[in-house]
Amino acid sequence: MSLLMLKEHYRIQLKEEKLNEMREADANGRPIVVVGVIQRSDAKNQNGRIYPHDILSKEVKRYQDEVIGGGFGMGQLDHTDNPVIELDKVSHILEQIWWDGPDEKEVWGKIRLLNTPKGKIAKQIVLDGIPLGISSRAVGSVTSRDGCDYVEDDLSLICWDLVGTPSTDNAYLKLHEAREINNFDKRKVYPVKYRIKDTLKELLNK
């Protein structure tokens, strides 16, 4: 089964009161933090994909424990088809993710904008009141049935990127088609200590 690059986009909506708090924080040299929904399970999204709750829950826990827990929850400004995080494009860090919303099937995230070149651009966009979107970047396979693509248990979350919001009343951003990924090696994506851990598992299983 082919691995695909999977992207799901959600809008970050900020009220004027929250924007004013952020502007005050920036004026006083404090970091800018954004909180919002970044993923949903058991719901068909506009590109026809469904993330079963048990599969997404397992991968969210791994990402929280290994990637965010290790301080590596970085993301880029604007999307890319590259399954590797490009450090020169990093704009923010995901500090925390948790389940909330109806039936606790919404993944929420706490995002801190960084003082990098791309982070400064993202910060100015937010402070100017221009909507941004959050886009998950993952690799995995899907199975089609009943008119939907169900994400399989080989799902591997890479990061969440900040993306531009089109001028639309829709609750979702424009979704990108899945792109096939050849020769994906997750050890190239994650920090060294997790690559070592995966290598040890492979050796022990031989």
Q: Does residue 194 have a pLDDT over 90? A: no
For range 172-195, the mean pLDDT:
45
Q: What's the rounded Cα separation, in Å, for the pair 88 and 192? A: 19
Q: What's the rounded Cα separation, in Å, for the pair 21 and 127? A: 10
Domain boundaries, the chain: 3-205
3-state secondary structure of 141: coil
Q: What's the pLDDT at 95?
A: 95
What is the DSSP track for 13-73?
---HHHHHHHHHHHHTTPPPEEEEEEEESSS--TTSEE--HHHHHHHHHHIIIIIITTT--
Type of residue numbered 112 = R
Give the predicted TM-score (pTM) of the model.
0.76
117-144 pLDDT per residue, tens = 999 999 998 888 888 888 889 999 999 9
Dihedral (CA of 100, 61, 40, 20) sign: positive
Question: In terms of Cα–Cα distance, which of 40, 73, 45 is closest to 55?
Answer: 40
Q: Does residue 174 have a pLDDT over 50? A: no
Whose tokens are 């979107």? That residue is 133
